[in-house]
């Protein structure tokens, strides 16, 4: 199941919007807090997965903007990927724990 009916369509849109906002925030010259960026990416992917979006789609939607930004700006470390994967999987397992099918 990639997307359940109903609410997750809104979750897809919100995931993309929040991920774009995080990438924008990370691109600011005055922003120098990788820990908060990583936490926001984790929470975005987890929240999307909890809402019913497939965990892997949550990871792709939450991580793509920041990864593209890191690739565009040069020799950035792609440290965002493990945090997004951890968030997506945490959300998936939490959803299974809260609502067993």
> With pLDDT > 70 as the criterion, what percentage of the chain qualifies?
87
**Contact (CB, 8 A) for 44 and 22:** yes
| Angle of CA points 11, 87, 101, to nearest 5° | 65
- The reported pTM is 0.85
Q: What confidence tier does 14 reach under pLDDT thresholds 50, 70, 90?
A: very high
Q: What is the pLDDT of residues 40-73, one digit of tens each?
A: 999 999 999 999 889 999 999 999 999 898 888 8
Q: What confidence tier does 34 reach under pLDDT thresholds 50, 70, 90?
A: confident
pLDDT at 84 over 70: yes
C-alpha 53/C-alpha 7 separation (Å) is 9
Helix (H, G, I), strand (E, B) or coil at 32: coil
Give the model's pLDDT for residue 101: 63
pLDDT at 74 over 80: no
Give the model's pLDDT for residue 50: 92
**Contact (CB, 8 A) for 88 and 48:** yes
Give the model's pLDDT for residue 36: 92
Residues 6+ apart with CB under 8 A from 41: 19, 22, 62, 63, 66, 80, 83, 84, 87
């Amino acid at each position: 199941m990639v997307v359940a009916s109903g609410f997750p369509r809104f979750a897809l849109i919100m995931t993309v919007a929040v991920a774009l906002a995080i990438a924008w925030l990370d691109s600011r010259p005055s922003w120098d807090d990788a820990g908060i960026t990583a936490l926001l990416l984790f929470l975005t992917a987890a929240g999307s997965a909890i809402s019913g979006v497939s965990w892997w789609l949550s990871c792709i939607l939450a991580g793509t903007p920041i990864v593209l930004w890191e690739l565009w700006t040069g020799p950035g470390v792609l440290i965002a990927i493990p945090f997004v994967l951890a968030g997506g999987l945490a959300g998936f397992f939490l959803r299974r724990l809260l609502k067993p099918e």
